[in-house]
Structure 1
């Protein structure tokens, strides 16, 4: 997918393409539906990233994206998506699940079904879920700048090439060996790119390398280029490795040597340094503690001299004192004459303390030179020697750190691609496990596509405000246009929600919460939620226009409507609903209208119209509570709650020994209900 193709995705304009261009591989991120990567583009939120990913999928499958035709249908989808996302461990998994949506495209449904059938076989063990908690998408390290090395060349063309090829290092122009020598005093390592400098001899311990081929292998010169990626993502990679170890029986597939990766990562710190070398640690400690060590060494020498002076009676005869004054001598001369042995011992103690504090081989001689033999009080170190010691320790540290980095970089060479695949597989496993957990938690099965309606066997809605195990299973089949009648609180709306949920989940390509489902592939779901109160004239007209547009192109749609009669007066509602049902029946739609006016609507419906009535029947009242058969009965107009109560009162009167006017009254009322139902 090129940039031109990105611009062809619905909703992706020129500015969005510019923002996506900031990603490493925007075409791959979009084509794979990687919401996390898309959201890293500047100015693109996670919600926007999910919309871009879905739009790309829809474009690939020729999907209009119009399956969810109403707000209530969108609400059901969001609820289902929320249940899926609750079962993902990683933030990436939750974002990735947003690319699953109900589609009218057979190809898209089958694409997800194929993925989901493998996913439900995954076993979400506690160990696996715990390991996933540390996995995140890999990040690219920021700009790397290395200041302890430089490149040197006398050729302007090579200079330009080096600047482009290895921007992490400074590139310096030199004319001769003297220029190189000057550079070596400021850098721990100088890499000379010109063959002409081969055999160059410099004073001191400067690390100067003549490597004409250095630009062909930048990682050898700048191992940080390789290491920084792994250091930045160290925790993520170790977590992904743990996932693969916990999922060893799942065969999620990886081409990387995980043991080798873990060994290399264990040597790294998150700042990109190598942390498993004793000499490197000794050098770093010596540098960090050098000022304190010098101060302590001075203290040792001065304490010893002070004690010696306090213990000694020094006598100076007048001639000697006059001689010292005439020569301009001071306390140093006095120390040399009277306390030479004690001074020597104090200096030696200071030297030993400093050498011991530095603690690095090869630097004893230089450290001892920090305290000269000339007597003085108080004893002071030679700052020039300490500066040189610091410089040499630092250069040694930098050279050793670079060598160690090269070793680790060599171990990690070629692992970046497989490491990315390792993390991607772990993150994708989280998505699969979320689908598996959804399927297991809600006793799901894959639907069978076919037929002209939808048939649900043992369906249980996961959206009810009760524990799922307490939800009563419902059997319900819809073919053509039906009215659904039933008592108040009998489950009509929850049955409608179940039908809508099953249709949405099925056309997401996922297993549905039922023992079995056969369904047609619907073009759209139009779910009209229950209206709160009678509508005013304007809202009423708008609602009629909405249904007018619906019935004109309703073929292949699933239409669910909850108590439309509340929009206006009952008499007018029955007539309007009857007209809508007749139109839907002619358009080969699958529709269910929940209504308390089912009888009145049937009376107003054309006898030739193929409109049936189903009923959620209450079998009676027990202790004032309805006892309901939640599965609708086909071809049955359910009795209302008032009729059940009147029947109960009439039955109680018949069983009473005291017959009276009340019993006759209840029986008479019951007869009117029964007459209306004939």
Structure 2
């Protein structure tokens, strides 16, 4: 794969991506976490790179969201999806799902979404997901107690590259090997020529070591599992809670992780724990043993009455004898008992086996001294013996555990990926349930021209209301239409609903409606309501934008909210009528919300459809509205409804004042009726 062919990826980023284990898989899958593991690439940047790779693979030209308001709609519906994720990964992964005009990309996501809708957002699964995170690379692993040895310079370079975790040393002969063995717990000789050579220390001749690095450096695979123990454990919990098929043996993985400590050492082995504790506690135990001997000896001296005749004392002094000679002569048994107690304490405190005990007992000699002191050479030998035994056992256990876990590494990676993807699926499922969504139906390409959209039972997800409080909307448009209606009647909300449905459909996701049928649009142009009249420059820019759109409008969906606010009402009606004519001729689908629908219809050079969001009336000063636009109907305005209400009230008051009989001469009803006639 040519990484630099991905939109937005230059030479530097391509080099960073190339350091990933499998960049092609990560890019194809939109695996934001894996991409973000490349040096210098953030999560947000990873999502953009993934989108670029997807666009390249599907030959997607981009630019579907053609206006600021269209992009806002996308960000708002995306935020609703991301709110329903548990993990940060799922939120970033959703960033790779974007509205596209390309059929292959839409179908790819639709297949994923269809499976997602089968998921049940079980609270136990959501709780298990809370502990889940993407896997981390273990970083550099260095092992200092082992080394590789060779006599060949070329082999030296090969070894450094194959097993960077170990030091590699060049030796000339067996003597050099012996010197290395004094400085390292284990020396691994790579040359066949060393076979049969006897060297003191742990020296292994392994000509095949470079072909089997995990056996030589089990820390390499173990570091991966150690650093990701909690993440892997969480992935196992997710699979169990969701009853998912696993990419590896969950019980075997759990068993292996239970034997692995966070620092990459083997856990749960009693013998290794004993040796580790003995090495760590050796100095303290030796000091305590000294204290045991000296305390017993002091007590013996206090209780012992020692009598020395003058001639004997003179003889001892002449020979230069000191307290040691006195101890040997007068307290020999007590000294022997004190030393034996020190030896027993050292053996018991360190829980030493028979062979280790023999070395430990040499730490306290039979020759009387006071105070009793340990023999540092003997303690040093004991330390070497314990350390070597610990390293041998740790090495063997690491190799065994690494062998058990090594084959599960890729399965463990897939286990976490599947659990993280489940969070993405559940977010889609939760969104669909929360907003009553269904999968939309796209008309075949052969039927697309002249087809727009048809929404039944749509509820805008952008309204800040509970779903049950939102009135369902039915609306269908083929070609160009004007949408009229009273203020606060829901015209803008209807445009938002249409935009949300179209954006989600082109993302390949379920839409908030009972059913939706639409064509595959090339782009979405949504122009929000302009605040105030535009100055000349802004007005000119707006007109230019529509001129460009009119040149190639076929395949576009154009949603415009009260474009008349850009200039004077009379001029606005003429401009909008001209824009609609051009869009209609080019086969675009368009909905223009306008309070000038009647005027625009009169000025348009074709029979433009006018739909209306009809207000049923005023109840206690509040509008009662049929939120679904009525086809081919110019909706009444709020002022008309208010005048009608005033006329009805005035007529009722006149009748009441006339004793229940109509009074056609009353001036107020006549005035209101005259105003109502102006709306006809």
Q: Same fold (TM over 0.5)?
A: yes
**Equivalent pair of 2:643/2:676 in contact (CA under 8 Å):** no
Unpaired runs of at least 5, structure 1:
none
Q: Find out whether 1:399 has 2:399 as its counterpart.
A: no
Matches within 5 A, 1:143-182: 143-182=140-179
Q: 2:265 aligns with which of 263, 270, 273?
A: 273
Q: 1:347 aligns with which of 327, 339, 346?
A: 339
Cα distance per residue 1:424-457 (max 9 Å; x no partner): 2222222222222222221111111125111110
Q: Find out whether 1:589 has 2:584 as its counterpart.
A: no
Cα distance per residue 1:334-389 (max 9 Å; x no partner): 22223222222211111111111110313111111111222222222111211221
Q: CA deviation at 1:534?
A: 1.9
Q: CA deviation at 1:255?
A: 4.4
Q: For structure 1, which segment, 616-625 or 654-663, has the greater mean C-alpha deviation from structure 2 after superposition?
A: 654-663
Match of 2:127 in 1: 130
Q: 2:117 aligns with which of 93, 115, 120?
A: 120
Change in Cα spacing, 1:94 to 1:180, as seen in structure 2 (3 Å) is: same
Cα distance per residue 1:453-485 (max 9 Å; x no partner): 111100011111111222111111112211111
Q: Find out whether 1:304 has 2:296 as its counterpart.
A: yes
Q: 2:316 aligns with which of 315, 324, 349?
A: 324
Cα distance per residue 1:477-534 (max 9 Å; x no partner): 1122111111121111111100000111111111111001111111111000111122
**CA–CA distance in 2 between the matches of 1:43 and 1:413?**
29
> For the aligned residues, what is the CA RMSD?
2.1
Match of 1:260 in 2: 252
Q: Find out whether 1:668 has 2:671 as its counterpart.
A: yes
Q: Find out whether 1:620 has 2:617 as its counterpart.
A: yes
Q: Alignment partner of 1:462: what SS? A: coil
Match of 1:228 in 2: 223
**CA–CA distance in 1 between the matches of 2:36 and 2:399?**
34
Q: Alignment partner of 2:30: what SS? A: coil
Q: CA deviation at 1:285?
A: 0.8
Q: CA deviation at 1:208?
A: 2.1
Match of 1:217 in 2: 212
**CA–CA distance in 2 between the matches of 1:187 and 1:408?**
23
Change in Cα spacing, 1:135 to 1:161, as seen in structure 2 (3 Å) is: same
Q: Find out whether 1:562 has 2:548 as its counterpart.
A: no
Match of 1:408 in 2: 401
Matches within 5 A, 1:156-555: 156-203=153-200, 206-248=201-243, 253-361=245-353, 362-450=355-443, 452-555=451-554
Q: TM-score, normalised by structure 2?
A: 0.94
**Equivalent pair of 2:601/2:607 in contact (CA under 8 Å):** no
**CA–CA distance in 2 between the matches of 1:325 and 1:31?**
93
**Equivalent pair of 2:133/2:231 in contact (CA under 8 Å):** yes
Matches within 5 A, 1:627-642: 627-642=624-639
Q: TM-score, normalised by structure 1?
A: 0.94
**Equivalent pair of 2:294/2:338 in contact (CA under 8 Å):** yes
Unpaired runs of at least 5, structure 2:
none
Q: 1:140 aligns with which of 122, 137, 140?
A: 137
Q: CA deviation at 1:421?
A: 2.1
